[in-house]
A = this chain, B = another copy of it.
Amino acid sequence: MPIDPKQFRSALGTFATGVTIVTTRDRSGTDIGLTVNSFSSVSLDPPMVLWSLAKKSQSRQAFIDAGCFAVHILAADQSELATRFASPVDRFAGLALERGEHGLPLLDGCAARFQCRTVSRYEGGDHDIFIGEVISYEHFERPALVFHAGRYALSVEKPAAPSQNGKPADELGRNSVTQLLARAYYQLELSVRPQLARHNVCESEYFILAATALVGPCSIASVVDMVGVSGREVTVADMKRLAKQRLLAISGGEDANATIQLTDAGREIVVQVAAAAKAVESDAVTDLSYAEIEMFKQMLRRIIRRTKQPRRKEA
């Protein structure tokens, strides 16, 4: 039964891999490199690794001639580099390079890199399998990039058995996503409340200032609308109160179409409260890795997108 290459590739793609760039230098001294995810460790003693290269690759002869190569395991923030080293561009243009054994080009910013001496090249269908003995390696403290199901990904530690931290949500909604969200949000917010008190503004007032800071001068209606997106109801009266405290300036009337603008004093409060909130938040996510925080934010955005309300009009 013939195997459809596209479907076969998709089935293979269920096997997650890291992403590497393998480099060498050709006989003329030109740097060569390409993105490879067919890397694998082989042996500990002697230390050996392998990777596969398409026989029709233009770099094939260079790798055969050089007899050595460097493997860079890419960091989570290097997906653009991976794309570049899979594209028909001047791949090394503008990159800061170090030089390894035999002048091997070494890239910066990766999670680990290995300099290898080619010890064998084996037949593998439409690919050659290069086996390298590791001469030296470096390991940097950076989260690494993942390639899975045809896309760049990040990995997060698998949670222990789901029941570990309390039961599933019951008929009273205990332990539901919503309850946990509410709790996490309120606890974060509680920590910032003393800041608001210090500046003598309540929460609604702070949200008006923050929304105005975001967009610059705008109509009262648009701020009511913006704050409304987060579920808070604010009124023209709230803004007038802020104007009286000289935190906002209102011009062009006093109705919903009037323009409001932050004063320097108002902006100062927003910046200070945001700084305090940032400190609280940094502390709150101390236990989470970079990948986990990115994933967490991504999930919040998916929930936000999914629960998005139609924008409300100013009454």
Interface residues, chain A, with chain B CB atoms under 8 Å away: 1, 3, 5, 7-12, 14-18, 20, 38-50, 52, 73, 76, 79, 111-112, 114, 120, 122-127, 129, 131, 133-134, 136-139, 144-146, 148-149, 151-159, 162, 165-166, 169, 171-178, 180-192, 210, 213-214, 229-232, 270-271, 273-275, 277-278, 280-281, 283-288, 291-304, 306-309
Contact = CB atoms under 8 A, between A and B. Distances in A.
- A5, A125, A137, most chain B CB atoms within 10 A: A125
A183 B158 CA distance: 27
B186 A184 contact: no
Contacts of A38: 40-42
Contacts of A145: 158
B180 A297 contact: yes
A153 B155 CA distance: 6
Nearest to A287: B302
A11 B114 contact: yes
Contact of A8 (B3, B16, B44, B173): B44
A154 B191 CA distance: 32
Contacts of A270: 172
A280 B307 contact: yes
A176 to B, nearest CB: 6
B162 A158 contact: no
Contact of A45 (B45, B125, B157, B173): B125
A181 B300 CA distance: 7
A129 B306 contact: no
Q: How many copies does the complex hold?
A: 2
14 contacts: A5-B47, A15-B18, A15-B73, A17-B17, A43-B126, A44-B125, A45-B125, A50-B124, A120-B122, A180-B300, A182-B230, A191-B309, A280-B307, A295-B295
A184 B300 contact: yes
Contact of A306 (B133, B287, B297): B287
A169 B271 CA distance: 12
A299 B192 CA distance: 20
Contacts of A187: 231, 303-304, 307-309
B294 A306 contact: no
A234 to B, nearest CB: 13
A11 B185 CA distance: 38
A176 B10 CA distance: 36
Contacts of A232: 186
